[in-house]
Amino acid sequence: MIVDGHNDLLLRLWRGEQPLDLDLETARAAGFAGGFFALFAPSLPSAADHPVDVYALPPTGPIARDEAARIVDEQFGVLRDLGLPLAHSASGFEAGQVTAIVHMEGAEALAPDLSDLDDWYARGLRSVGPVWSRPNDFGEGVPFAFPSSPDTGPGLTPTGKSLVHACNRLGILVDVSHLNEAGFWDIASLALAPLVATHSNAHTLCPSSRNLTDAQLDAIGASKGVVGINFAPAFLREDGADDPETPIAEIVRHVDYVAERIGVDHVALGSDLEGATMPAGLGGAAGLPRLVELLRARYSDGDVAKITHGNWLRVLEATWSVWGLYFAVAGDDPRATLLDALARFDTPGLAVDLGAGTGRDTAELLRRGWRVIAIDREQYAVDRLSAIASPPQLETRLARFEDAEWPPSDLVNSSFALPFCPPREFPRLWERIVDSLRRGGRFCGQLFGDHDDWAGSGVVVHTRDEVRELLAPFEVELLDEFDQDGKTAVGTRKHWHVYHLVARKL
């Protein structure tokens, strides 16, 4: 089974052209199980009728957002018409079936305020490359230059950093291919998931600006990420020539280099079928078994399986299980705001734990004799919570907390969860929290401030005055504002602006 890091079939079909490398029936018979299907808006003004492969040309400048959105939406329609299943989990890939990961190559089609990203996620988007090889609102892409370092300009814009935060929140893979080096390091410092280059090669072997330096490869390996090796001769050959007579052994040369440098767990295939010149000896997707045989001559069966599909599935699972990494590193101690609130009660009662996560607060409530309704949208979280105690002391509910209902209660606890409510839903959720608390009941938890690094990425933020307005129905017992640089639970740097709250309903 072969899972591939990149193809441009949708671009070719959208332009009304016949596939050159990726006939789906032939590919399926060759073991192609799908992978990343790119939505890509070319720069040229009449790209739909243009006879040349614009993907392989130097960039011609930015593309207007409205035009990019139109093209990408039309290409998504092409994908839908193909009738392929869309991957929402790593388990969606099966031998004998082609499954598509919806990938946006260059984020020009997205609104700069990211107001449409949640809608795209609902449609199936699971991977985004912030830039193609041109500048946009999100960052700076590398030009197709040889020989050239990828250090070609500034990094991500503030909007680009917000995009990374938003993808972290939703569980969308962020692709570093086509980014310049500064943008790569920005993503490396912000990402809460493994670093991924869907279709890039080793700069040491082919000094194209599109390829990854040893330092970049090392960072990808350290993050437990993966590099999909690009089959384009211009990114394989020492001389950078775009020569179709390039032997497919050049692909293996890059596989070997990355495997030796950062480990066989961190290298995969990222063909660029339909988007670039392919080695003639491969013969498109039909020749994938020939490439696999070359790999079998050098690697064990287990390692070949990692390269052909296993490494992609591992990284997809780690990335799309959005809270999986957090759960793996989060502590067990209850939050200080919960402890503060509990100390103010004379007797235990009924508590609602919204966004209960790892169960650290639920466990403390149960230990102190409270009955708890624990609500979380992640099945993994609910499974963990269910192991803590049995009814009637604990009731677990699998739900987005903005949709959940619960009975009158004495305490609503929401530790670092409310900011992840969809902004348009927050007023209704807050009203439900206030209405559900009995007189003398308490809310405790956190809200994010407008200076937080994640502001603008789709999380809910408030000014201090807005927080005080929200707390008008309460006696404020604790309002502790934290506005400082720090780190996330998984160790990435972040400026935190957080209000730690305990409030008693009047």
Q: Which residue ranges make up each domain of the chain?
A: 2-322, 329-505
Residue 482 — very low, low, confident or very high, per pLDDT cuts 50/70/90? very high
| pLDDT of 250 above 60 | yes
Q: Is 57 left (phi over 0), alpha (psi -120 to 50) or beta?
A: beta
Residue 360 — very low, low, confident or very high, per pLDDT cuts 50/70/90? very high
pTM of the entire predicted model: 0.84
CATH classification for the domain delimited by 329-505, as one of 3.40.228.10, 2.60.40.1890, 3.40.50.150, 3.40.640.10: 3.40.50.150
Q: Does 3.30.565.10 match the CATH number of domain 2-322?
A: no
In this chain, the answer to whether the domains covering 2-322 and 329-505 adopt an identical fold is no
| pLDDT of 188 above 60 | yes
Around Cβ 64, how many Cβ atoms within 10 Å?
11
| pLDDT of 217 above 90 | yes
* Percentage of the chain modeled with pLDDT above 70: 94
3-state DSSP assignment of residue 453: coil
Around Cβ 448, how many Cβ atoms within 10 Å?
22
Q: Which residue do the tokens 């079928």 mark?
A: 273
| pLDDT of 383 above 90 | no
DSSP state of 353: E
Sheet holding 226-229, edge to edge: 173-174, 125-129, 99-105, 32-39, 2-7, 267-269, 226-229, 196-197
Residue 58 — very low, low, confident or very high, per pLDDT cuts 50/70/90? very low
Mean pLDDT of 204-230: 97
Task: Give the pLDDT confidence of 403-459 residue by residue, as tens digits.
Answer: 999 999 999 999 999 999 989 999 999 999 999 999 999 999 999 999 999 998 889
Mean pLDDT of 161-176: 93
- Between 383 and 62, residue with greater pLDDT: 383
Are 177 and 216 in contact by the 8 Å Cβ rule? The answer is: no
| pLDDT of 314 above 80 | yes
Mean pLDDT of 236-254: 97
Nearest alpha-carbon partner for 108 in 17, 12, 39, 165: 39
| pLDDT of 381 above 90 | no
DSSP state of 306: I
| pLDDT of 92 above 50 | yes
Q: Buried b vs exposed e over 155-171: b needs ≥16 C-beta within 10 Å? A: bbbebbbbbbbbbbbbb
- pLDDT score at 192: 85
* Percentage of the chain modeled with pLDDT above 90: 84
| pLDDT of 144 above 80 | yes
- Between 43 and 246, residue with greater pLDDT: 246
- pLDDT score at 83: 97
- Between 250 and 52, residue with greater pLDDT: 250
Point out the least confidently predicted range of 14-23, 196-205, 325-334.
325-334
| pLDDT of 56 above 60 | no
SS3 content of the chain, % helix, strand, coil (to 5): 35, 20, 40
| pLDDT of 326 above 70 | no
Residue 44 — very low, low, confident or very high, per pLDDT cuts 50/70/90? low
Q: Which residues contact 196 (CB under 8 A, 6 or more apart)?
A: 173, 174, 175, 176, 220, 225, 226, 227, 228, 315, 319
- pLDDT score at 330: 64
Mean pLDDT of 480-485: 96
Mean pLDDT of 309-322: 93
Integer Cα distance of 446 and 505 in angstroms: 17
In DSSP terms, 502 is beta-bridged to 444, 478
Integer Cα distance of 340 and 378 in angstroms: 27
Integer Cα distance of 125 and 102 in angstroms: 5
